[in-house]
């Protein structure tokens, strides 16, 4: 069993090693800081973490605080994580925070984490669209207590469906010192590792087959408007993690479409004119079981198979 898994993992790595992505640069407001000035530098280049029990899930491999500076921010400030290469694996983006007992640079991330943002897929006409960007922007919650925090972004790549493929975590942590905040107690919280399980539907889902709703793994998203009192908010973990407005809204509309077409070939609404006109950008998906999109790679790249469910223009 173990051999089967590592063989599968190995073949993925081999076919897909050329260009992963790193959340390497932080901006606060419109000020963009040098690469890895305030983000802990990992030592595994652009490779993902796949071990659900590893401490490397927190901030990535080798990412320690000692050589990283901590940036001062105001509660409510806008921040941006910029990548070296835009995200190109399908999957959700999440942003977490964890308060350091003292200095962020001394903190190993072993304390509780709360989640401030999720970006799941949008469903339309039986097709899912993931938000794959070169940067992601959000705001520090206005009501969190002052102090030093790790600010963590995560791309969970689920393009190679479990169990044939192993989902990949691309993650990085910034060190921030917050002032001007409030007295909220963010909840629910989770430990990392521990927050993600191979039984989470959002981890095991096959996004190429009958895919019409999605729950982002991890604790429910917390915001200042929600349960700032702390302690009171029922064990919402599973309930609230489905809250992402977009998927919920579209679930109802998407389901009928998918149900009626799930076994027959999906006559995709309009996606592509015949077959000559389309083109998949480099690193995009170009095939795999259940794939109904374009299979022609932009010039300069060719469609290569990663596994039965995923081929990619490389």
Residues interacting with ligand NAG, by CB under 6 A? 201-202, 205, 213-215
Beta bridge pairs of residue 310: 307
Distance, CA of 179 to CA of 148 (rounded, Å): 9
Q: Which is nearer to ligand NAG, 65 or 202 (CB)?
A: 202
**Distances from the Cα of 62 to the Cαs of 58, 147, 151, in angstroms?**
11, 24, 17
Given ligand NAG, Cu ion, none, residue 293, with its beta carbon under 5 to 8 Å by kind, binds none
CB of 285 to Cu ion, least distance (A): 11
Q: Which stretch binds Cu ion (CB under 5 A): 8-16, 105-113, 219-227, 295-303?
A: 8-16
- Residue 51 CB contacts under 8 Å (≥ 6 apart), including other chains: 57
CB contact set of 163 (below 8 Å; sequence gap of 6+): 5, 204
The minimum distance between CB 19 and Cu ion, in angstroms, equals 8
Q: Kindly list the strands in the beta sheet with 310-313, ordered across the sheet, starting from the edge strand earlier in the chain.
A: 285-287, 310-313, 303-307
Q: Distance (Å, rounded) from C-alpha 49 to C-alpha 61?
A: 8
Shortest CB 43 distance to ligand NAG, Å: 33
CB nearer ligand NAG, residue 49 or residue 205? 205
Q: Which is nearer to ligand NAG, 65 or 121 (CB)?
A: 121
Q: Nearest approach, Cβ of 251 to ligand NAG (angstroms)?
A: 7
Of 22 and 119, the one with the shorter C-beta distance to ligand NAG is 119
Contact, 97 vs 152, CB < 8 A?
yes
Residue 96's binding partner among ligand NAG, Cu ion, none (Cβ under 5 to 8 angstroms by kind) is: none
Picked from Cu ion, ligand NAG, none, the partner binding residue 205 (CB below 5 to 8 A depending on kind) is ligand NAG
What residue is closest to ligand NAG based on CB? 201
Q: Which does 213 bind (CB under 5 to 8 A by kind): ligand NAG, Cu ion, none?
A: ligand NAG
Q: Long-range pairs for 285-288 at CB < 8 Å and ≥24 separation?
A: 285/90, 285/159, 285/310, 285/311, 285/312, 285/313, 286/311, 286/312, 286/313, 287/311, 288/208
Residue 16 is a binding residue for Cu ion (CB under 5 A): yes
Least distance CB 217 / ligand NAG (angstroms)? 9
- The whole-angstrom separation of Cα 103 and Cα 150 is 10
Secondary structure (3-state) at 4? helix
Q: Does 165 bind Cu ion (CB under 5 A)?
A: no
* Window contacting Cu ion (CB under 5 A); options: 12-20, 132-140, 216-224, 281-289: 12-20
The residue ranges that bind Cu ion (CB under 5 A) are 16
């Amino acid at each position: 069993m173990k051999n089967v898994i590592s063989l599968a993992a190995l073949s993925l790595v081999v076919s897909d090693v050329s260009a992963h992505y790193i959340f390497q640069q932080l901006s606060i407001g419109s000020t963009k800081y040098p690469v890895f000035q305030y983000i802990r530098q990992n030592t595994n280049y652009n490779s993902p973490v796949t071990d659900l029990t590893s401490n490397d899930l927190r901030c990535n491999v080798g990412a320690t605080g000692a050589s990283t500076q901590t940036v001062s921010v105001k509660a409510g400030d806008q921040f941006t994580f910029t990548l070296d290469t835009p995200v190109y694996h399908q999957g959700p983006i999440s942003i977490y925070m964890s308060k350091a007992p003292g200095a962020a640079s001394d903190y190993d991330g072993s304390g509780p984490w709360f989640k401030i943002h999720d970006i799941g897929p949008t469903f339309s006409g039986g097709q899912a669209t993931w938000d794959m960007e070169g940067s992601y922007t959000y705001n520090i919650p206005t009501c969190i207590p002052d102090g030093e925090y790790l600010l963590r972004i995560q791309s969970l790549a689920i393009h190679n469906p479990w169990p044939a493929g192993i989902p990949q975590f691309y993650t990085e942590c910034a060190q921030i010192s917050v002032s001007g905040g409030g007295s909220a107690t963010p909840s629910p919280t989770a430990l990392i590792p521990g927050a993600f399980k191979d039984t989470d539907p959002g981890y095991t889902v096959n996004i190429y087959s009958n895919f019409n709703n999605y729950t982002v793994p991890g604790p429910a998203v917390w915001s200042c408007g929600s349960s700032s009192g702390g302690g009171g908010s029922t064990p919402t973990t599973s309930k609230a993690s489905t809250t992402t407005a977009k998927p919920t809204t579209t679930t109802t509309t998407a389901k009928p479409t998918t149900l009626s077409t799930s076994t027959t070939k999906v006559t995709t609404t309009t996606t592509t004119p015949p077959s000559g006109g389309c083109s998949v950008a480099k690193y995009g998906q170009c095939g795999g079981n259940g794939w109904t999109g374009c299979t022609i790679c932009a010039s300069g790249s060719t469609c290569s198979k990663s596994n039965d469910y995923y081929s990619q223009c490389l």
